[in-house]
Structure 1
Amino acid sequence: MNKVFDWLKNMNWMLWALILGIATGLIFGERVAFLKPIGEGFVSLMQITIFPYIVVSLVVGLGKFSPDQVKTVLAKAAITMLALWVVGLAAIWCFTLTLPSHDAGTFFSPALVAQAPDVDFVQQYIPSNPFASMAEGNVPALVIFCIALGLALISNSRKNQLLDVLEVVGQGLTVMSKKVIKFFPIGIFSMTASTAGTIGSEELSNLQIYLVLVVCLGFYLMFALLPMLVAALTPVKYRDLIKVMRNAWITAFSTGNVFIVLPVITEGIKAHLQKIKRSDEESDHIAEVLVPIAYTFPSLGKLTTLMFVTFAAWLTGNPISLEQIPNVTLSAMLSYFANVHIAIPYMLDSLKIPADSYQLYLSMSVLTAKVVSPTTVVYIFAVTLLCIFYNKQQLHLKRIRSVYYLTLLSVLLPAFMVLSFTTNNHLAQSTKSSDDVIANMVVSDQVPSDVLNHVPKAYQSGELSLTNIEIIKKRNLLRIGYLVDNVPFSYFNQKGELVGFDIGLAHKLASDLQVKVEFIPFKKHQLAEYLNKGYFDVAMSGLEMSVADLSAVRFSNPVLELQLALVAKDHRLKEFATRDLVLSKPKLNLAHVEYQPLMRDVASKHQQITINQLNNHQAFFESSNDNDALVISAEAGFAWSMFYPEYGVVVPKGAELKYPVGFAVAKRNVDILSYLNTWLAIQQSKGTIQNSYNYWILGNGTQTKEHRWSLLDEFSEQAGSYIESQ
C-alpha cells in the first residue's frame, strides 16, 4: 500500500490531467462543454496571488542587492535578452520562407473601418498610480514601479525592516500558490476537456496555414532552440530542464496564460539550482527579479505572434520583402513592449496591411495561445538560467555537449522549416479561397422566380406605371428592379443564380404577398425613368437614398445605414488614410457609380480631383488603373475585395460619412410605399433584416457548422448501422 501512495505522490498529475482532458474531449465531444467554467474558476484562483507576488519579488529581490550587484545583474540580463531576441527573430524570419502561394479577401466587419484608438505609451509604462496599474492589470507599469522602488531601497540603511516583512509576505504567497497548484490538475483537466470537446474544424479552415507556422516555430523554440542553448552553455542538462519546466509548461498550455505560472517558474528554478548544488542567495534573488522582468519585456513567445503579421501580409498578396525585414524587426521590438493587442494593429498599419486582418488574429488567438504561452514559459526559464550562470561566470562552450547541441540546432531548423513548408503547401491546395465562398452563397428561402436580362417590350408602353398591392396580387407577380453586379446586394453566384442581400429580401416580400417574383435589370441613372414608366414595381440593390432623387421617386424607410469608403490597391491604402492626405494630392482620379451629388460637390471644391462615373463597379477592378480609388460603401468594398484580393478598403480619418439605403417605388405608387414601410418594420422586429445583414454583409453562416465529432458519437453511429443491418 505504501508503494501505491508513493507512486501516486510522485505522479505528474498536471501531465495526466492534460492527457485525460484531451481523451475526454475526444470521447464525449460537446457533451463536456459544461467543464469550461470550472477551468476558468481555477485560473481566477491562481491569479489571486500574482500581482502581490510580482511586487514582493521585485522589491525584495532588488532591495537586497548592493549597488554594484544590481548594475551587473541588470546589464547582463539585458545582454542575455538581446542575444536571445537576435537568435529567436532570425528563426522567426526563416519560417516566413515556408509560406506557399495563394489568394485573399475577407467579409466586412464594423470593426474593420473603426478608427484605431490612440495608444498611450506613457500610461502603459509610467505608473502615475501604481495601485490603479495593479487594479487594471497593467503589468509593465507595475513592474517599472517595483523596479524603481527596489532600486531606491538598495542604499537605504533601514531597508531590512521593510524587506523582512515583505519577505514573510512573499513566503505566504508562495505557500498559497503551492496549495492551489495541488488542486490545479482539476482545472487543467476541465479546460483541456472542454477545448478538445468543442473546437471544430470550421475554426481551423481559414487560418490553418498560420496555425501550422505557429506550431512549427513554437515547437522549434520550445524543444530545440531555447532549451538546447541552455544545455549547451550552462551546467543544466536538457532532460532536467524539460522536467523542471514541465508543470509550468502544461499549465500555460492548458490555460493560455503565462501570468499565473510566474511563481511556479521562480520556485522551479530555485529548487533545481539547489538540487544540482548551484544555489546561493544571489542566484535566488536573480530568479525572483528576472522572472517578472522577462515576462514584461518582449519574449520570444510573444514575438511568435509576429508570424501573424507576416502571414497577414502574405494573405493580402503583399508578402514582406527582404529589404523590409530590418525595419519590420525594429518596429516589432519597439511595439511589442506594449500589449500584443496594441502591437499587432500597429504592425499591420505600418506594413500597409488592411486592418481587417486583425480580426483574423483574434479569431485564432485562443488556439495560438496554446503555443505562444508555453513558448513564453520556456523563454523565461532560458533568460533567467542563462543570466544566473552568466553572473556566476559559468557560461562556456568548451564541452562536447555544447558542440553536440549547437550542431543539432543547425540541423533541426531546416528540418522544421521543411515540415512547415510541406504541410502548408498541401493545405494551400485544399483550402477554399475567399472568392469561392462569396461566389457560392445562396438565397435560402426562394419563391418561383424569373431573372431577366432586359426590359420586356410588353412593359415599355407605360400602361403599368400605376401599380398597387391589389394589382400585384391579381397578376400574381411582383416585379423587382435590380442593379447588375452590385455585390453583395445583387449579383450572380457561380451557379448563375441571382443572389444577394436585397434579392433575399425580395424573395421574402414575394412570399409574404404569396406571388411569384420577376427580376428586371437597370442602371443607376435609369432608376426614376424605369420606375415611373412601370417597368418594375420596386427597385432594390442597396440604393443610396439621394436628395437628388427625392423629387423623381419615393424611397421607403431606410433598410440599412452604410459607411462611405474608398477602395484602392492594398499598397496604396496608406495614401488615403486621412482626409488631409487625400486632399493634399496634386492630382487624384476618383471613380464612382452612385453618389452623383456628392461627387459633383467634391469636384467643384477641389480642382485637383477628377471624378469619373462608371456604369458598374466591376469596370473599376477590370480597368487599366486609370482611377486611383473607387468611392463605394465599405460593406460593398470588402465584398469586392474578396473577388479582387489585391484591393483593400479604407475610410479616411476626418471624412467619415454614413448614408441610408432603401427601396424605391414610382412617385405615384403611394399604396406600395405604405405597404413596404410597414413590411420593413415587421421584418426589423422579427430579426429578418439583421439575419440577412449577418449573412450577406458579415459572412456569418457562410460555412456550415458541423457537429463536433466524438468517439462516443462514432460508436453510436456504428452500433446503429450494425443493428439496422441485422
Structure 2
Amino acid sequence: MFKKLLAMTSSTQMLVAMFVGFAVGIFFGESVGWLSTIGNGVILLMQMTVLPYIVVSLIGGIGKLQKSTAILIFSRAGLIMLLLWLVGIVLTALMPLSFPFIESASFFSTSIVEPVEPINYFKLYIPSNPFESMAAGYVPAMVVFSIAMGLALIGMEGDNKTQVLSFMHTITETFSRITQGLVKVLPIGIFAMSAAAAGTMGVDEFASMQVYLISYFVLCLLLTFVILPWIVCSLTPITYAQTVRITKASLVTAFATGNIFIVIPVIIEECKQIMREHNNLSEDGLTLIEILVPIAFTFPNIGKLTVILFVYFAGWFNGTPVEVSAMPSLSISGLLSLFGSVYVAIPFMLELVHLPSDLFQLFVMSGFITGKFNSIAAVMNLFALTLLTVCLFQGSLKLRPPQLIKMSAGLLISTVVTILICRVGMGLFIHSPEITSGVIANMQVADKVPTKVKRQFPEVGKTPSQPIAGVQDIIKRGVLRVGYIPSSVPFSYYNNAGQLVGFDSAMATKLAEDLNVEVEFIPFRKKTLSASLDAGFFDVAMSGLAMDIKQMDSLSYSDPVLELNVAIATKDHRVNSFKTNQSILEMENTTIAYVEHDDKIKEAKRVLPHLTFVKIDGYKDFFRQKGDKYDAVVISAEAGSAWTLFFPGYGIAILEGKNRYPVAYAVAQTNQSLLNYINNWQKLRKVDGHQQEFYDYWMLGKGATTPQPRWSIIRDVLHWVD
C-alpha cells in the first residue's frame, strides 16, 4: 500500500491526502484540530525558497535574452500580455458580484476601531533598499529590482556576464531541487490541514467555501472556453473550433497533472501547426514561437491571477468585503507578487487589505483542487498570447472596428450571463452562517440577588418623591433602586423572556450583590434624569449614559465606566458612503437622526449645513421606522453593532478622526456618599476583571452562544467519547 502511494504522481498524492484528511477529520472530530500545527509548519517550509527564487530566476531569465529578442518581446508580446492581464484582473474583480447576498451582523469588535496603518506605496513598489524589501516581504519591490538587474545584464558582454548567468542558473536549479524535495512532504501538510478543517469547521463554513469553489471553477472555465478563445477568433484568422481543437491535449494534460511546464513543447508545436494551416508562418515567426512560450511561462499568467478571487472571497467570508477603492491597489500588488509563489502572494494580499491571515489555511486546503482549474486557464493564456503575438508580428491581426465590436460584445454578454446565473444559483442553494437577533435576544444576566423591574415611568410632580438615599440608607432599606432606559441596547433592554438584561443591568446586579441588598429597576427618560434623581425615584442611573456637559451642574457623574466610539448606523448599501469625511461632504438630501451628543451635533450642523439633523427619543425610533424618514443615526459603534443583530439590514460606519466619548453612572448632586462608593467599587471591579467579563459578554458577544462539539463519527455514531 505504501509503495503504491509513493508511485503516485504528486497531484494524485495530494488528492488522496485531502480525501483521507477529510475522512479522519469527520471520524475523529475536534480531537484532531491540533493537526493544523503540522499543516502550518509544512506550508512555512514550502515558502522557504520562494522569495530568493523570484530574484535569481527573473535576473537569470531576462539577462540571458538577446537585445533584439528582448525588445520584440517587451514591445509586442509585452503589450498583449498586459492586455490579457487586464482582462483577467477585471473579470476576477467582477466575479464577487456572483457571491450570494446574505444579511448578517456581528457583535462589536475592537478591530473595527483600531487605526489602520496606511500602506507605504514607496516601500511596496520602490526597492530603495533591496535587502529591506526582501526581509520585509515586499514582493512587488523585489520584482522591480530583479527586472532592473535582468535588463542591465542584457547590455553586458564577456565572461563576467556568463559567470553571473551561470551562477543564477545554478542557484535557480538549487532552489528547484529544494522545492521538489519539499513537494514530497506537501501531501502531509494537505492531510493535516484537511483533517483539522473537517474536524473543526462547522457545516455553515463548509457551505461558505462552496461559494469560493463554485465561483472559482466558473471563472476559470469562462476564461478557458469562452473569453480567451473568443479574443483569438475575433482578432485572428483562427476560428473558435480550431482554437479549442489545438488546445485540447494540453488542457487535458494540465488538468490531470496540475503541471503547466510539461505541456510547453506541445503548446509550441500546436501553435506552429495552426499557423502553417493558415499559411502564415515565416522563419522569424517560427523562431518567435519557440522563444516566446518558454519566456511567457516565467511571467504570471491569467490562471495565476485568478487566485486574487480568494482575497475577495475572504473579505465576503469575513463580513468585511474588499472595497472598490482598494481593488486597483490589490490587483497591481497581487500581479507583482504573483511573479513568485501563490503561497507568498496570498498572505501578502490578505495583509494588504487587512484580512485575518488565518484565512490562508482555507486557500491552502482548496489549492490543489483549484490548481487544476487555474492550470487550464494558464495553458489557454499561453496559447492566446502566442497566437496573438505571432499574428501581430506577421501582420494578420484584425484590429478593425467590426472585429473589436464583435469581441467586446461577446466578452460583455458572456460575462454578464455567467455572473447572473452564478448569483441566482448560489443564492438559491447556498446559505452563509448568520448571527441573528436570536442570539442577543436570548442573553441573560446571571442574577444572584432578588430583582424587581418596573415598567411604568414615574412622573415628576405626580409620583410621590422619596428622600435621597446614601449608602447606609440603601443598606438599611435592603433595596438598591437603579434607573434604566428601556431599549438601550446593549446596556439595558428586554430579552425574549421579558427580562431586563444588558451590560449595565449586569453591573447593577453586581453592585446590589456587593451591597448585600436586592435590586429594583425603574425606567426614566434622559431629559428628566436630574429631576428624577432629586425626587428620589431611584438612587443611581445605569444605562449607557453619555456624560452631558449641560447636565453636570444638576447631577453628579461617576468616573467614566467605558469609552465608546461615535459611529453612524445606516442601511448596508450606504455604509461605505459614511466612512470618509469627503464622501459625507458630497452627500445630498440626507437626514441624520440623533438621540444624544448635542454638543457634537451642534458642531456637525456648522460643518455640514447641507445635511438635516433631527433629534429622536430613542434608537428604536430609527431602526423600527416605517419608510425612509431617516437615512442614518448617530450612535456608538458598540450599541450600533448590537442593534444590527436585531436588524441585519443595517451596518456600522466608523467616522474618521478621534470620535470617542465616555459613559458613566449618575447620582443626585447631593448624594456624595453613594458617588464615592460607586467610584471606588468601579475601580475594584475593573481591577478584579468583573467589568471586563461583562464587557466581553455584552459588547463582544464572548460566551453569548454555547459552542456545540463538531459532529463526528467517533462521538455521534459510535459513542466512543462524550
In which range does the TM-score fall when normalised by the shorter chain?
0.7 to 0.9
Which of 484, 487, 494 is residue 485 of structure 1 equivalent to?
A: 487
Instruction: Work out the CA distance in 1 between the residues paired with 2:386 and 2:81.
Output: 11
Equivalent residues in 2 for 1:134-153, closer than 5 Å = 134-153=134-153
Query: 1:539, 1:90 → 2: CA distance?
Result: 56
Once the two structures are superposed, the pairs formed by residues 75-94 of structure 1 within 5 Å of their partners are 75-76=76-77, 79=80, 82-83=83-84, 86=87, 93=94
1:353 aligned residue: none
Equivalent of residue 333 in structure 2, options 338, 341, 347: 338
Out of 246, 252, 258, the residue aligned to residue 245 of structure 1 is 258
Structure 1 residue 17: Cα displacement = 2.6
Does 2:652 correspond to 1:649? yes
Decide which of 431, 448, 451 is 1:449's aligned counterpart: 451
Compute the displacement of 1:485 (Å): 1.4
| Aligned-residue offset at 1:523 | 0.9
Residue in structure 1 matching 2:185, options 183, 186, 199: 183
Paired position in structure 1 for 2:505: 503
Superposed CA RMSD in Å reads: 4.6
* Structure 1 segment 162-241 matched on structure 2, within 5 A: 162-201=164-203, 203=205, 208=207, 210-221=208-219, 226=224, 232-234=245-247, 236-241=249-254
The question of whether the paired residues in 1 share the 8 Å contact of 2:220 and 2:376 is answered with no
2:300 is paired with a residue of what secondary structure? helix
Answer whether contact 1:593 1:614 (CA < 8 A) is retained: yes
1:637 aligns with 2:640: yes
CA–CA separation in structure 2 for the residues paired with 1:679 and 1:496: 29
Partner of 2:394: none
Corresponding residue number in structure 2 for 1:43: 43
- For residues 129-182 of structure 1, give each alpha carbon's deviation from its aligned partner in whole angstroms, at most 9, with x where no partner exists: 222221111222211221222122223223222101111111222222222223
Query: What residue is the counterpart of 2:668 in the other structure?
Result: 666
* Alpha-carbon distance in 2 for matches of 1:599, 1:368: 46
Amino acid at match of 1:136: A
- Structure 2 CA distance for partners of 1:36 and 1:420, relative to 1, 3 Å: same
The 8 Å contact of residues 482 and 519 in structure 1, kept in 2 or not, is answered as yes
> So what's the TM-score if we normalise by structure 2?
0.76
2:685 aligns with 683
2:124 match: 124
Residue 105 of structure 2 corresponds to residue 105 of structure 1: yes
Contact 1:226 / 1:379 at 8 angstroms: preserved in 2?
Answer: no
Percent of matched pairs sharing the same residue: 31
**Distance change (3 Å), C-alpha of 1:387 and 1:643:** same
8 Å CA contact retained: 1:389, 1:395: no
How many angstroms apart in 1 are the aligned matches of 2:566 and 2:703? 25
The aligned residue for residue 28 of structure 1 is: 28
Contact 2:297–2:382 under 8 Å retained in 1: no
Moved more, 456-465 or 194-203: 456-465
- Show structure 2 runs of 5+ residues with no match: 230-242, 273-285, 338-352, 392-412
C-alpha distance in 2 between matches for 1:660 and 1:565 = 14
CA distance in 2, matches of 1:416, 1:630: 35
Say if 1:384 and 1:52 are closer, same or farther in 2 by CA, change over 3 A.
farther
**Cα distance between partner residues in 1 of 2:387 and 2:163:** 29
Q: Aligned equivalents of 1:481 and 1:44: distance in 2? A: 56
SS of residue matched to 2:34: helix
Contact kept, 8 Å, 2:250 with 2:266, in 1: the verdict is: no
* Distance in 2 of aligned mates of 1:605 and 1:337: 37
Asked if the contact 1:479/1:519 (under 8 Å) is kept, the reply is yes
The 10-residue stretch of structure 1 (366-375 or 125-134) with the greater mean CA deviation from structure 2: 366-375
Q: One-letter code of the match for 1:591?
A: A
**Deviation of residue 573 (structure 1)?**
4.9
State how 1:317-336 maps to structure 2 within 5 Å.
332=327, 335-336=330-331
Letter in 2 for 1:148: A
In the alignment, the residues of structure 1 paired with residue 26 and residue 645 of structure 2 have an alpha-carbon distance, to the nearest angstrom, of 35
Tell me by how many angstroms 1:438 deviates. 3.1
1:477 is displaced (CA, Å) by 2.3
Residue from 462, 465, 468 that aligns with 2:465: 462
Alignment match, 1:303: 309
Q: Does the 8 Å CA contact 1:440/1:495 hold for their aligned counterparts?
A: yes
| 1:231–1:238 Cα contact (<8 Å) kept | no
1:99 maps to a residue whose letter is P
The secondary structure found in structure 1 opposite 2:541 is strand
Cα deviation for residue 28 of structure 1 reads: 1.9
- Using the TM superposition, give the Cα deviation of residue 335 of structure 1 relative to its aligned residue in structure 2, in angstroms: 3.9
What SS is found at the alignment partner of 1:105? coil
Count matched residues: 651
| Cα distance change of structure 1 residues 562 and 277 upon mapping to structure 2, 3 Å threshold | closer
State the 1:479 CA deviation: 1.6
Q: Which residue of 2 aligns with 1:324?
A: none
1:508 and 1:387, CA in 2 relative to 1: closer, same or farther beyond 3 A?
A: same
Distance in structure 2 (CA, Å) of the matches to 1:562 and 1:144: 45
Cα deviation for residue 364 of structure 1 reads 5.5
Task: In structure 1, list runs of 5 or more residues that go unmatched.
Answer: 247-264, 321-327, 343-357, 397-409, 721-726
CA contact (8 A) 2:545 2:663 kept: yes
- CA–CA distance in structure 1, aligned partners of residues 329 and 42 of structure 2: 34
Amino acid at match of 1:214: Y
Cα distance per residue 1:658-708 (max 9 Å; x no partner): 111121222233332233223322322232222222222223333331112
User: Residues 117 and 360 (structure 1 numbering): CA distance in 2 closer, same or farther, change over 3 Å?
Assistant: closer
